[in-house]
Chain A
């Protein structure tokens, strides 16, 4: 069974960098598929952030691209997100997920709430 677990600080100060890591179990990232981050502000809708492939190939939400770095560590079966210069608007539950060959996100982590506040 494929499982994803996001981890990282739950509180980040404004203007600082949000860093999250997703650990994948039950499936090797080296076997393929894109892996991504999606966020959901409290009480609001979903927003896709970025995806990364095992090779390091990436693609981004155009509205966030200038602040986002996404990377993969196949040796640890993990991928990571960095979001720079955060503001209160970046407060959200951050999900990591797998984009499968059926053009959908089929496996999701449980989500981790990140609050931006001083």
Chain B
């Protein structure tokens, strides 16, 4: 199965907002509200920042928000801070043929 589609890179200035898209199909993102987002700094393990499309785990700033429309999920980061510069990955549950998880290819966020 193909990975979910994300832009390779996005950028923004401190204080601005950016949105990262994650496009799947009607068998994964479009069918289930089991989309999560992960932040990964260089050399570190990923950290979950959004689960179930819109929910933030405890301790994650409310600058991070998630949404979904049709087969595309989105992560919006408002009030960009320099420490937000990282790679971001989306993940969705899918069950075409067999239940499984799919990740997006990742998006590099640069805070200018």
A residues adjacent to B (C-beta < 8 A): 38, 44-48, 51, 59-63, 65, 95, 99, 102-106, 108-111
A61 near B52 with CB under 8 A, answer no
Task: Kindly list chain A residues whose C-beta atoms are within 8 Å of the C-beta of B86.
Answer: none
Interchain CB contact under 8 A, B34 and A45:
no
10 pairs of residues in contact across A and B, judged by CB atoms under 8 Å: A38-B103, A46-B103, A48-B103, A62-B98, A65-B98, A95-B45, A103-B36, A105-B91, A106-B57, A110-B45
Q: Which residues of B contact A108 (CB under 8 A)?
A: 45-47
> Are the CB atoms of B48 and A106 closer together than 8 Å?
yes
Q: How far is the CA of A23 from the CA of B108 in the complex (A)?
A: 31
**A60 touching B89, Cβ below 8 Å:** no
Name the distance in Å between B68's Cβ and chain A's nearest Cβ: 13
8 Å CB contact of B93 from A61, A103, A106, A109: A103
Chain A residues within an 8 Å CB radius of B100: 48, 59-62
With contacts A46-B103, A95-B45, A108-B45 known, is A62 near B97, CB below 8 A?
A: yes
CB-nearest residue of chain B to A96: B45
Q: Apart from A47-B3, A104-B52, what 7 extra A-B contacts exist at CB < 8 Å?
A: A45-B89, A46-B106, A48-B102, A95-B46, A105-B36, A105-B91, A108-B45
